[in-house]
Amino acid sequence: MSRRRVWGGLFALCLALPACERGCVWRLVPGEGLATGPRGVAEAWFGGGDVDCADGLARCQGGVLEASQAARRPLACQGRPEACACPWSVVGRCPGACVADGLELPLPRERAAAQLCAREQGALPTGRPPTATTTLPPLGDACEADAFVCLGSAVVACRPTPRVAGTCVAACASPDPLGGRVAESLSDTQAVAVLCAR
């Protein structure tokens, strides 16, 4: 059998398998969120492999501060949902509420409370609303797929059209943008509270 027929048969098999997400070929492309493991392409082809759980994230939920832990989970996990999910450890509690429940940000554990907990009444402000003279900083590709980003000392709301949501009194707490469903629902005030260093 010729090599062309073998490849043609494999391609036809990919098109015929309904379990393949976006086609089997997608599973062979590196950088699409699939860790193929030691068996490489063959493992990815047949739906095996692992998911890498990120380390270095902090989040706040119901006043509880958590930090993500590095781990690997099977892509097709068959256990309890909590056993299949990426692990988080409790690292503290807010005096009150979170700035926004479920918001995740790359932060050291010791900075989680300062950035993710709602400020207590009477605390000094960490940001100011924009004025008529506030200018939008150069964005480059900083706003490609995210809701907010802090550049220099300006907190930029990326959607629908980039604009300055506020300016930090001191500096940005993190160069990493805020993205995802929770970030998209933040008000300008909440975004400034999270992204400006306290």
- What's the pLDDT tens digit per position in 100-140? 999 999 988 899 999 999 988 878 888 999 998 899 998 88
pTM above 0.75, yes or no: no
For residue 172, what are the β-bridge partners? 196
pLDDT at 170 over 70: yes
Nearest to 191, CA basis, from 157, 144, 152? 157
Adjacent-strand bridge partners of 64 = 61, 93
C-alpha 158/C-alpha 141 separation (Å) is 11
Look at residue 13 and give its three-state secondary structure: helix
For the chain, give every domain's residue range. Answer: 17-48, 54-113, 124-198
Q: What's the average model confidence in pLDDT over 55-69?
A: 94
Length of the chain in residues, anyone?
198
117 secondary structure, DSSP code: B
